[in-house]
Amino acid sequence: MKKLLFRGGILSAAAAMAALYGSIGPVAAQQVTWLGTLGGTLSEANGVSADGSVVVGRSLNAAGSSRPFRWTLQDGLQDLGTLGGATGVARGISADGTVIVGNASNAQNRNRPWVWRDGAMQDLGTLGGPTGSALGISVGGDFIVGFTLDADELQRAALWRGGTVENLGALPGGRPSAARAVSQDGTVVVGFAYDTQGRNLPFRWTPGTGLVSLGTLGGLYGEAWSVSADGTTVVGYAYDSAGVKLPFVWRDGVMQALPLLSGTVSGDAIAVSADGSVIAGSMWTGTASVAFRYTAGGGTEDLTGFFAPYLAPGSVLRVVYGMSPDGRYLVGRGFNSLTGRNEAFVADTVPEPTSLAVLAAGLAGAGLLRRRGGATKV
């Protein structure tokens, strides 16, 4: 009998049909896929292409060094290398999966921003200082954001486009700033910057307004993590007047806290879809982190519970760091009970069509389909 490969704790009906009867093309298949590591004890995913086929992030290798990776179902984890040093991280990816950005050490052990295209990693350059990092990329891959030190070694939010790097400035007082995400056309950038009192605050930058603080929910601190493709929706975290860290969404000049999951006490909104309708990140119970997804229609959902049929007992999704532009594919880090490691994952949130679910049930009844478990062959 033909061997069937089970990923993320379940063989989808579409995969079963393809295995038994030949390929039938892409079909929606709700599932979780653990990505493994590069030989170390930890990995986490930070970005995913529009079709979910390419994932980027970082993994510890056997020597315990953090290495940037690119993952595909066909090739698994690929170490992208560095700029001559020992460590690096892949932070983001374009929608078509061809452009990757991040930071890596060079031969002088300086952390540098890089872009990866056509199989090659290239140093993006800085604002005159020795170090920097690329933290985000636009949907089309034309604009890259992050931070670098300038010639006076002051940390500044940076925007790379067309082979040049632009200093986005700072809040009044000139304290450090860093950009995390950029809109599709490069006209809106978000991140965090410090004020004169040393408090980090979320900012939104445009060419017309410059770098402007979005404020908080009544507390002292905050940070913007991501922005929708059109620049109108910003997500991140901010503290309220009681000192509670809450996930927020900002639209039309108004910041609102997202509802916390039952049993959690704080949270952080980290990723948002291109149209601003899907938000994801992590919430804190007081002892552990819990990955969540929020939509206006569905409210706040615990993703471990949402994907329970596709996870082995004891496996937990801890945090979502990135998503595809349409919000379908989520990537991040969780605990894989089958390996006993904290690992990167990619999760497909679209349920299988009813007809394929019926086939899956039939295969399960025939003993060809397991409902739980990790990568297993029969």
CATH number at residue 91: 2.120.10.30
| Residue 298 within any structural domain of the chain | yes
**What is residue 26's predicted lDDT score, i.e. its pLDDT?**
34
Is there a single domain that holds both residue 326 and residue 358? no
Residues 6+ away with beta carbon under 8 Å from 26: 51
Number of domains in the chain: 2
- For all residues of the chain together, what is the average pLDDT? 88
Is there a single domain that holds both residue 90 and residue 209? yes
| Residue 339 within any structural domain of the chain | no
The Cα 205–Cα 214 span in angstroms is 10
Q: Which among 239, 142, 145 is positioned nearest to 190, based on CA atoms?
A: 145
| Residue 336 within any structural domain of the chain | no
Is there a single domain that holds both residue 197 and residue 91? yes
Is there a single domain that holds both residue 157 and residue 116? yes
Is there a single domain that holds both residue 117 and residue 14? no
| Residue 337 within any structural domain of the chain | no
Is there a single domain that holds both residue 9 and residue 140? no
Residues 332 and 313 sit within 8 Å (Cβ to Cβ):
no
| Residue 124 within any structural domain of the chain | yes
| Residue 92 within any structural domain of the chain | yes
Mean pLDDT within 198-202: 97
**What is residue 246's predicted lDDT score, i.e. its pLDDT?**
98
Is there a single domain that holds both residue 301 and residue 377? no
Phi, psi at residue 287, to the nearest 5°? -130, -20
Is there a single domain that holds both residue 110 and residue 4? no
- pLDDT tens per residue across span 308-341: 999 999 999 999 999 999 999 999 999 999 999 9
Is there a single domain that holds both residue 295 and residue 375? no
- Alpha-carbon separation of residue 169 from 67, 191, 215 (angstroms): 30, 12, 17
pLDDT for residue 368 is more than 90 = no
**What is residue 352's predicted lDDT score, i.e. its pLDDT?**
61
Q: Which among 304, 298, 350 is positioned nearest to 323, based on CA atoms?
A: 350
Is there a single domain that holds both residue 307 and residue 199? yes
The range of the structural domain enclosing residue 124 comes to 31-330
| Residue 345 within any structural domain of the chain | no
Is there a single domain that holds both residue 144 and residue 180? yes
**What is residue 139's predicted lDDT score, i.e. its pLDDT?**
98
| Residue 273 within any structural domain of the chain | yes
**What is residue 351's predicted lDDT score, i.e. its pLDDT?**
78
pLDDT for residue 242 is more than 50 = yes
- pLDDT tens per residue across span 126-179: 999 999 999 999 999 999 999 999 999 999 999 999 999 999 999 999 899 999
Is there a single domain that holds both residue 209 and residue 229? yes
